[in-house]
Structure 1
Amino acid sequence: MTNFIPIFPLEIVVYPGEHLNLHIFEERYKQLIAECFKEKKMFGIPPVLKNKIAETGTLVKVTEIVKQYADGKMDVKTEGVSVFRVLEVINSIPAKLYSGAIVKHLPNDEDGISRHTHKIIDGMRQLHRLLNIQKDFNKPDETLKSYDIAHHAALSLEEEYELLCLLREDQRMEYLRRHLQKTIPVVAGIETLKKKIQLNGHFKELKGFDFNFGK
């Protein structure tokens, strides 16, 4: 399906099902949020990468205006809904301050099963232990999907976008598996190096070389 939507480009990647809190202060986006909330319309958040609007983005709905300030600024709650591809950006819309885009809504498998799911979640927990991070997802591990954990797997913005462009759950989980397989040894090595540096100058208990070893 193809249609026109208002857009709010940001230097973030939003995933379907993700809850995102925003502080709205620019006039154009105050108008966009107010209209979308009143008319129960959705808007798009295409990521901004290297100062350019990316081709793939996420359709978002406003779930609550938490606070409206005297100057019109707002604190709002939003939720990611689905993935789209930008066909054409419309910079100027009559009587509107914000921009829009003609987009194609993409079919997306969010319910697929990966045989690596448990390994991926175990790997993510291991990464968090190495980084001294505690993360509670408020749901059982066996129900976690790629979109639940992608922001917590130490992906760069560009990597988060690459994952957004994958439209099958098994592909996204495989992407995360390969990323963790590559990242965990690097982080573990840094932690070992930190411990060596911290021990420098301390009295060390080290076992001497056994000259009789192997005789």
Structure 2
Amino acid sequence: MTNFIPIFPLEIVVYPTEHLNLHIFEPRYKQLIAECFAQQKPFGIPSVIGGTMKEFGTLVEILSIEKRYENGEMDIRTRGLKVFRVLETIRDVPDKLYSGAIVHYPRNIRQGNDELMQKILRSIRELHALLKVSRDFSTPEAELSSYDVAHHAGLQPEEEYEMLCLMQERQRQEYLRRHLGKAIPLLAEMENLKQRIQLNGHFRNLPGYPSDPASQAEQ
């Protein structure tokens, strides 16, 4: 399927099912949101990584406008729907301040491996324990997908975007598994290093090196 959508490029990666709250303040995007909300139409958020708008992004719907300000600014709640790929960017849309794009929606296989997902969740808990952070997912564990946990796995923006481009759930799960398999040992070693540094200068009860039996005999 191919169609035209208004676009709101942002320096983040948005995933399908993700809830995203935004404060809208630029005139072009105030117009975009007002029109999309009135017409009950979605808009696209292409990811901007390293100052460049990428070809993949996520179509989102506006759930609500939580607050309208006197100057026209808005606080809105949105939810990710599906991944798109930009085929052509339309910089100048007639009578609009915002840009648009012709996009295609790649086939996205959402069925993954339940056992692998449980392993990923255990690794994320281990990661959070090392980082001393706490995160409870609102969705029951049996229903969680890679999209639901990706932002909590310690991925860099470039890595989050790489995962967005994967169109099979099993591929996304493997991507997270490999990342966590590398990140957790590194963090564990950093934690050990931090503890060793903190001990420097403290009084410590350390056993002495055993005496040489020959020297003891001479005494």
Query: Shorter chain as normaliser: what TM range?
Result: over 0.9
Q: Alpha carbons of 1:210 and 1:166: their partners in 2 closer, same or farther (altered >3 Å)? A: farther
Secondary structure class of the residue paired with 1:107: coil
Deviation at 1:52, TM superposition (A): 1.1
Check if 1:187 corresponds to 2:193: no
The residue that corresponds to 1:169 in the other structure is 169
The residue that corresponds to 2:126 in the other structure is 126
Q: Alpha carbons of 1:203 and 1:84: their partners in 2 closer, same or farther (altered >3 Å)? A: same
Aligned partners of 1:126, 1:119: CA distance in 2, in Å? 11
Amino acid at match of 1:29: Y
Secondary structure class of the residue paired with 2:132: coil
The residue that corresponds to 2:217 in the other structure is none
Aligned partners of 1:55, 1:114: CA distance in 2, in Å? 30
Residue 111 of structure 2 contacts residue 170 of structure 2 at CA under 8 Å; is this kept in 1? no
Larger radius of gyration: 2
Aligned partners of 2:107, 2:93: CA distance in 1, in Å? 28
The residue that corresponds to 1:196 in the other structure is 196
Secondary structure class of the residue paired with 2:61: strand
Question: Over the residues paired in the alignment, what is the CA RMSD in angstroms?
Answer: 1.2
Residue 22 of structure 1 contacts residue 75 of structure 1 at CA under 8 Å; is this kept in 2? yes
Secondary structure class of the residue paired with 1:142: helix
Check if 1:7 corresponds to 2:10: no
Q: Which moved more, 1:29-38 or 1:194-203?
A: 194-203
Amino acid at match of 2:3: N
Deviation at 1:207, TM superposition (A): 2.9
The residue that corresponds to 1:143 in the other structure is 143
Residue-pair matches, total: 212
TM-score (norm 2): 0.93
Q: Alpha carbons of 1:190 and 1:27: their partners in 2 closer, same or farther (altered >3 Å)? A: same
Aligned partners of 1:8, 1:114: CA distance in 2, in Å? 34
Deviation at 1:73, TM superposition (A): 0.2
Q: Deviations over 1:46-84 (max 9, x none)?
A: 001121110111001101000000000000000000001
Aligned partners of 2:49, 2:35: CA distance in 1, in Å? 27
Aligned partners of 2:166, 2:107: CA distance in 1, in Å? 11
Check if 1:205 corresponds to 2:209: no
The residue that corresponds to 1:58 in the other structure is 58
Deviation at 1:211, TM superposition (A): 6.2
Aligned partners of 1:43, 1:98: CA distance in 2, in Å? 11
Flag structure 2 segments of 5+ consecutive residues without an equivalent. 213-219
Check if 1:103 corresponds to 2:103: yes
Q: Deviations over 1:171-208 (max 9, x none)?
A: 00000000000000111111111111111111112233
Residue 89 of structure 1 contacts residue 102 of structure 1 at CA under 8 Å; is this kept in 2? yes
Secondary structure class of the residue paired with 2:201: coil
Percent identical: 59
Secondary structure class of the residue paired with 2:65: strand
Secondary structure class of the residue paired with 1:133: coil
Flag structure 1 segments of 5+ consecutive residues without an equivalent. none
Deviation at 1:11, TM superposition (A): 0.3
